[in-house]
A = this chain, B = another copy of it.
Amino acid sequence: MKTILVTGFDPFGGDTVNPAWEAVRTLAEHKHADYRIVARLLPTVFDKSIRLLKQYMEEIDPDVILCVGQAGGRATFSVERIAVNVNDARIPDNEGKQPIDTPVVEDGPTGYWTTLPIKAIISRLKEKGIPASISHTAGTFVCNHVFYGLMHEIAVAKPGVKGGFIHIPYLPEQAAQHPGQPSMALDTIVNGLVVTIETALATSADLVEVGGNIS
């Protein structure tokens, strides 16, 4: 049986709920004969989030790791393609830290590609009726920070593990308080995560399909 580690964050920036954690803890109740899901909460805090992630990776020894974060203002379930080695916080994190233009990992490479089969995942999500897209930037706040920390740990210590980052829209009840913003139902997000996990488990070589952006 395969083991899947899925993480979500606590609320930040004035919101009282984080859809990532809501989705992840709901997902943890999803049962399947071939795999088990372990959900963990990460704090929206630089460095501490990566320390905890590494500790959970050690304890749980997962085959697939999905970190999930809120991207308020985006309309789709988006699969991040690349993590970059910079912290550049527009607002303070949940412990008041606001690093600007520092590396996530001293002397780490500029970026890491996700090891998820993103084209196969997007193709399957669309077939299942879930609005999805590939994203080429996870920002420069704690989401990208954790994503980079994850891919670095996989690169140096966990070869072969499939890992990546998913950005999700506001939940409807959040968007009701952010006038005009798009949202996605919790069910749709959770289904999207199941599709992502199952496609990652089923895919050895990724599809070669159009998925880029002109700019």
* Complexed CA–CA distance, A90 and B73 (Å): 22
- Asked if A11 is at the interface (CB within 8 A of a chain B CB), the reply is no
Chain B residue numbers with a CB within 8 Å of A126 are 176-177
- Asked if A56 is at the interface (CB within 8 A of a chain B CB), the reply is no
Per assembly, the copies of the chain total 4
A185 near B187 (CB under 8 angstroms)?
A: yes
B177 near A90 (CB under 8 angstroms)?
A: no
Choose the segment among A22-30, A34-42, A58-66, A111-119 that binds chain B (4+ C-beta atoms closer than 8 Å). A111-119
* Complexed CA–CA distance, A128 and B128 (Å): 28
- Asked if A167 is at the interface (CB within 8 A of a chain B CB), the reply is yes
- Closest Cβ of chain B to A4, distance in Å, is 23
Interface residues of A, CB < 8 Å — how many? 68
- Asked if A57 is at the interface (CB within 8 A of a chain B CB), the reply is no
A-B contact pairs, 25 of them (CB 8 A): A71-B215, A75-B75, A75-B182, A76-B179, A82-B110, A82-B111, A84-B111, A84-B136, A90-B211, A100-B208, A100-B210, A100-B212, A109-B111, A110-B111, A110-B112, A110-B113, A131-B172, A136-B140, A137-B213, A139-B212, A139-B214, A169-B182, A172-B184, A184-B185, A185-B185
